[in-house]
Structure 1
């Protein structure tokens, strides 16, 4: 069972990443009976099903004997219930990885992106002038991907959509390492939120996550 990464960020916060090497049918066989019956309608022949199943396998592995219910609110934000108790959860996937982060008490966000030079073509859509000033060079693909992923994480933390990545989400200058944290701000209307977004570079991927301690 290829759990690629599992980390207790705090006693209440769990992060896990699954490396998908199984077929969709094999992933489905890893789910408990309750999961299996609930998701019988899923088509087993596409990548979306693979990502969906891998994230559910991660949840199922963590809570084998606990009734798990996952649904979405009006903003399409995932909501998790374990034995009827609500949990905050964020789910991400990219290529052959799927990940979750969850907490009983704190809002969480998580994102995973694969680095690709084509990000230079779209950077102007999500990077503001200050971000371009320190990560705007053509060879700064990793930095741009971290910024993009961090903003995806902030978007999930905020959870109410209608965020302009360029206007409302701000990444402060950072020094690139294989892992670290960056200071970020969400500014929208009367709302201002400050967050440390943590990142980890591995293989060709960037993983970011954040916790809302301001709640």
Structure 2
């Protein structure tokens, strides 16, 4: 199927979602990859990991609308960046979908997740007691997924290690409505404020951030918690 959804955030920022129905061979044939990228693909397990990687790169090529080679690399912390294009980028994937967000003038972060009831079992690992208190019991599962996607998107935009979803990324109370915007902060050595946007897509939740506002220096130490591994089986 390929491109399933595209949203223009502003004149320089957008995201899109790709439905993965192609084979790995088909997706691979549409790309220009160098020896480093081919070696990385060889190390991936066959199946979803391979398809997710290929799908995000196909979607990135479509969004950049180019026939040129796209030199996409990752930094020491695993954050992707482009060498020969000016755009900031963020990737996400979950089961049958991949998502890519790009911007020419601001850092971005996006997360897509298949909504499943299991999130209730891990909510206390990434949510503070104050955040759990504003979750609507009637929409508990999608409300929790919105919070997870928000924190994951902020984590990806920030792109630095040793960030605790529970202790460092805090969400302002918001009512879940299926689509909307709310505020959040990230407090490590510095403090940043974000407008987080979310929306439902099929049986999935999408959360994204574009840019941030510096607040002040807080001097809060980083904590080594790999919170973003809670859903690594997708």
For residues 180-191 of structure 1, the aligned pairs below 5 Å read: 180-189=180-189, 191=190
- Segments of structure 1 that go 5 or more residues without pairing to the other structure are none
Structure 2 distance, partners of 1:90, 1:65, is 20
Structure 1 distance, partners of 2:127, 2:212, is 25
TM-score, normalization by structure 1: 0.90
The 1:136–1:126 alpha-carbon spacing in structure 2 relative to 1, beyond 3 Å, is farther
- Segments of structure 2 that go 5 or more residues without pairing to the other structure are 215-234
Q: Give CA-to-partner distance per residue, 1:103-134, whole Å, 9 cap, x none.
A: 12201000011111111111110110111111
For residues 1-215 of structure 1, the aligned pairs below 5 Å read: 1-31=1-31, 34-35=32-33, 39-41=37-39, 42-43=41-42, 45-62=46-63, 63-81=65-83, 84-135=84-135, 137=137, 140-189=140-189, 191-214=190-213
Residue-pair matches, total: 210
Q: Give CA-to-partner distance per residue, 1:18-70, whole Å, 9 cap, x none.
A: 01111111211232xx2377644424831101000001111222333233110
Q: Give CA-to-partner distance per residue, 1:77-122, whole Å, 9 cap, x none.
A: 11113xx244211000000100111112201000011111111111
Q: CA deviation at 1:149?
A: 0.9
Q: CA deviation at 1:14?
A: 2.2
Structure 1 distance, partners of 2:191, 2:186, is 6
Q: Tell me if structure 2 keeps the 8 A contact 1:131–1:173.
A: yes
TM-score, normalization by structure 2: 0.83
Task: State which drifts further: 55-64 or 197-206.
Answer: 55-64
Q: What is the RMSD computed on CA atoms of the aligned residues?
A: 2.0
Structure 1 distance, partners of 2:158, 2:110, is 12
Greater per-residue strand proportion: 1
